[in-house]
Structure 1
Amino acid sequence: MVSHGAAIYTMMFLFAFTFAYAGDIVHHDDVAPTRPGCENNFVLVKVPTYVDGVENSEYVGVGARFGPTLESKEKRASHTRVVLADPPDCCSKPKNKLTSEIILVHRGKCSFTTKANIAEDAGASAIIIINNQTELFKMVCEDNETDVNIGIPAVMLPQDAGINLEKHIRNYSIVSIQLYSPHRPLVDVAEVFLWLMAVGTILCASYWSAWTAREAAIEQEKLLKDASDEYVSTENVGSSGYVEISTASAILFVLFASCFLVMLYELMSYWFVEILVVLFCIGGVEGLQTCLVALLSCFRWSQDAAQTFVKIPFFGAVPYLALAVTPFCIVFAVVWAVYRRVSYAWIGQDILGITLIITVLQIVRIPNLKVGTVLLSCAFLYDICWVFVSKWWFHESVMIVVARGDKSGEDGIPMLLKIPRLFDPWGGYSIIGFGDILLPGLLVAFSLRYDWLAKKNLRAGYFVWAMTAYGLGLFVTYVALNLMDGHGQPALLYIVPFTLGTFISLGVKRGELKILWSRGEPKRACPHIEDDQQLLNH
């Protein structure tokens, strides 16, 4: 039931998101000035609160460029009472006497380092500065400041969190807090499962694509042997059931995906994300239905339903089996959309996403290595541009901002595979864009189709090498992700050189690059010629 035009648009829709992300907790900012005494990284800080000895809310702040580093272990972070500054801005010596309490002050009227120095001189053990906005702000040292050897930690809280703390204190409650910044684990099990999901998705899609290609080739040979005129119709894309990408369309994909990404960035809002959710559900229903029909068709009890068709307006001939599973697919997508904010909704999102990717990889194909090289090379530049280079134009990474759903009030967009970081004290999700699976998957699926048509075994073929190269490229992506403290990485920056480089190198070594580059399939003799040759030999 998937139309070929829809497959093209779906591919462009999925292609726009190609990066891996784990949520950064350490912020390296080359713009913010650094010098001795003012050279800390900007780290997120956990601030659990206790009101009258009872555990209350936990807030997240950001550490300053100056001051000592915070404790990383919760059990080592002391419970310290919080008091209000008087005056509130702490730009002059506090009127209240401090004995190692944490002082809560408001932003404004003087520099951050001035506030910290005054608080330290007054006997505070730390200073918490309430921002005048709901966002966090990076506290730096001014260029003309000299007294930056500050001995107490400084943390900024967003306005709403600071006001809540202030209300508790003004109600004569005893408020105490902990300040600590836990380190993210070197490797989280979520990244392992995400790697397995990506590799498994390409593996399933490649075998399905190769199987259908082999069945089509066998059917063509039968038609040729029978000298049937139907062979002409098998060359038609519409009847063969798949769409081949051309070199021009490969370039256009990147251009359209760039425009689509910028449009998302500029128009990002709650309602725009809702539209994306609807589109994702439509594609997810189609993908889930296609995969379920293919899976159930393998069983004898459902083969009759899979091979019996009924005509439906606008859809044409539809198998009874597809009609049977469609209601389930629709209900599945709707339930996910309604409950997508619950903690376990990622399972439904991943199921819909994986089946959609597999379906697109089954329908959309690259005909040869030339098209694959153009597509992946353009995607390579696209990924670098919108993750890294876009910071120069938009002052932030467009790809990461769109994927996180900033300015929309939503927890990211749905066109991602994600798994919760189970052993990460900061929580969150490890995610990977659909494009990081779909685009290399086109090349990997092409390699297996070629191997099967050329009747190559696994060792002599290209598929095992392409699949291994993809797995290694994705592995290196996650290594880079952890080395960069969770900063979003353009996954295709690592995956494309591995997969494309391996494929081209093998083609050159085996002397098959010319065939791979232009034809994309091995030469096959006409069955009539083979039969005549056999008769002559006898």
Structure 2
Amino acid sequence: MLLLMFFFLTKAFFLVLVALFCLAAFQAVGVVFAALLDMLAYPRLQRSVNLPCLGTVPLTGLLATAPALVVVLIWAAFQSSTWAWVLQDFMGVALMALILRQCRLPSLKVASILLPLCFLYDVFWVFIQPLLTKGGTSVMIEVASGGAAHERIPMLIIVPSFFGLPGYTMLGFGDIVLPGLLIVYTRLCDCTNALQQSTKLTSWQGYFVPTVCAYAIGLLLTYGALLLDLGGRHGQPALLYLPFWSGQE
């Protein structure tokens, strides 16, 4: 997929990516809004309605479609604006939360194989691959910055650069979802252990909180390496810094 976007990221291909992102984000943002309505727990909202062709649908899910559609349409119409990154990040976080809700690691053995391979993948495309191409072009950075389409792909978390630097700081979805799979796995382990021992699980017990803190340290190291231009003036592979901390526990 990375090579496909590198060689064929034209304006038309970019519009297809935006359409797919909007479709997925609409579902994810709708799930978030529906969950918020469920938390309000109004008795009148805790019921279902029958719709043609769709059958029985929770009322909260139906009500959540309207604000979700508004968020997606506003971003699609104004994605080039300086403030659009706020909506893009919100949509991206909702989408990744939905992915982590649906996809689970079956065992720690799978995590021990998958995450180191992703670590090698990230390091190769950022540090080694530019040495193998003419002019030192980085495929990963070229794709992240829009390539020939000169458009920033939406599958990124972006924030304005710190310390008054121009441009944006970008973090790919993979750098969040892949370690997030391990974090979700530790939470499930904590809940399972608490259930087996018939004890109440507090916030600071188990592996979940230490793993989240380790992930935060890894991200800080990534941004520190970016500010210090370690390895040259290009992007930093976040998965290079994350495994050393998230694996300590």
TM-score, with structure 2 as normaliser: 0.89
The answer to whether 1:289 aligns with 2:10 is no
The answer to whether 1:415 aligns with 2:155 is yes
Alpha-carbon distance, 1:316 to partner: 5.5
Q: Which residue of 1 aligns with 2:41?
A: 300
Q: CA 1:280–1:371 in structure 2 vs 1: closer, same or farther (change >3 Å)?
A: same
Q: 1:468 aligns with which of 213, 230, 236?
A: 213
Q: Which residue of 2 aligns with 1:528?
A: none
Q: Which residue of 2 aligns with 1:446?
A: 185
Q: CA 1:353–1:459 in structure 2 vs 1: closer, same or farther (change >3 Å)?
A: closer
How far apart, CA to CA, are the structure 2 residues paired with 1:416 and 1:469? Answer: 22
Q: Which residue of 2 aligns with 1:161?
A: none
| Alignment of structure 1 residues 15-164 onto 2, 5 Å | none
The answer to whether 1:488 aligns with 2:235 is yes
The answer to whether 1:347 aligns with 2:86 is yes
How far apart, CA to CA, are the structure 1 residues paired with 2:55 and 2:12? Answer: 34
Q: CA 1:338–1:443 in structure 2 vs 1: closer, same or farther (change >3 Å)?
A: same
How far apart, CA to CA, are the structure 2 residues paired with 1:430 and 1:494? Answer: 17
Alpha-carbon distance, 1:487 to partner: 2.1
Q: Which residue of 1 aligns with 2:122?
A: 383
CA contact (8 A) 1:312 1:318 kept: no
Q: Which residue of 1 aligns with 2:61?
A: 322
TM-score, with structure 1 as normaliser: 0.42
CA contact (8 A) 1:465 1:502 kept: no
Q: Which residue of 1 aligns with 2:70?
A: 331
Q: Which residue of 2 aligns with 1:279?
A: 20
Alpha-carbon distance, 1:486 to partner: 5.1
Alpha-carbon distance, 1:376 to partner: 0.9
Q: Matched residue pairs, number? A: 239
Q: CA 1:265–1:483 in structure 2 vs 1: closer, same or farther (change >3 Å)?
A: same
SS at match of 1:461: coil
Gap regions ≥5 residues in structure 1: 1-259, 504-538
CA contact (8 A) 2:33 2:68 kept: no
Alpha-carbon distance, 1:304 to partner: 4.7
Q: Which residue of 1 aligns with 2:248?
A: 502
SS at match of 2:147: coil
How far apart, CA to CA, are the structure 1 residues paired with 2:51 and 2:158? Answer: 38
* Letter matched to residue 444 of structure 1: I
- Which is richer in helix? 2
Q: 2:167 aligns with which of 411, 415, 428?
A: 428
Alpha-carbon distance, 1:465 to partner: 1.5
* Letter matched to residue 452 of structure 1: C
Alpha-carbon distance, 1:328 to partner: 2.2
Q: Which residue of 2 aligns with 1:437?
A: 176
CA contact (8 A) 1:306 1:322 kept: no
Q: CA 1:322–1:385 in structure 2 vs 1: closer, same or farther (change >3 Å)?
A: same
CA contact (8 A) 1:293 1:306 kept: no
Identity of aligned residues (%): 37
Alpha-carbon distance, 1:272 to partner: 1.2
| Alignment of structure 1 residues 126-275 onto 2, 5 Å | 260-275=1-16
Q: CA 1:312–1:290 in structure 2 vs 1: closer, same or farther (change >3 Å)?
A: farther
How far apart, CA to CA, are the structure 1 residues paired with 2:55 and 2:153? Answer: 33
Alpha-carbon displacement from aligned partner over 1:273-295 (angstroms, at most 9, x marks no partner): 11111111111111100111111
Alpha-carbon distance, 1:347 to partner: 0.9
Q: CA 1:350–1:460 in structure 2 vs 1: closer, same or farther (change >3 Å)?
A: closer
How far apart, CA to CA, are the structure 1 residues paired with 2:103 and 2:238? Answer: 21
Q: CA 1:417–1:486 in structure 2 vs 1: closer, same or farther (change >3 Å)?
A: farther
CA contact (8 A) 1:287 1:356 kept: yes
How far apart, CA to CA, are the structure 1 residues paired with 2:121 and 2:49? Answer: 43
SS at match of 2:149: coil
CA contact (8 A) 2:31 2:64 kept: no
* Letter matched to residue 245 of structure 2: F
Gap regions ≥5 residues in structure 2: 195-200
Alpha-carbon distance, 1:483 to partner: 1.3
Alpha-carbon distance, 1:418 to partner: 0.8
Alpha-carbon distance, 1:306 to partner: 4.5
How far apart, CA to CA, are the structure 1 residues paired with 2:11 and 2:23? Answer: 19
RMSD value over aligned CA atoms? 1.9
* Letter matched to residue 471 of structure 1: A
Q: CA 1:309–1:394 in structure 2 vs 1: closer, same or farther (change >3 Å)?
A: farther
Alpha-carbon displacement from aligned partner over 1:55-107 (angstroms, at most 9, x marks no partner): xxxxxxxxxxxxxxxxxxxxxxxxxxxxxxxxxxxxxxxxxxxxxxxxxxxxx
Alpha-carbon displacement from aligned partner over 1:100-159 (angstroms, at most 9, x marks no partner): xxxxxxxxxxxxxxxxxxxxxxxxxxxxxxxxxxxxxxxxxxxxxxxxxxxxxxxxxxxx
Alpha-carbon distance, 1:413 to partner: 0.7
Q: CA 1:338–1:461 in structure 2 vs 1: closer, same or farther (change >3 Å)?
A: same
Alpha-carbon distance, 1:368 to partner: 1.7
How far apart, CA to CA, are the structure 2 residues paired with 1:462 and 1:312? Answer: 46
- Which is richer in strand? 1
How far apart, CA to CA, are the structure 1 residues paired with 2:30 and 2:160? Answer: 26
Alpha-carbon distance, 1:305 to partner: 3.2
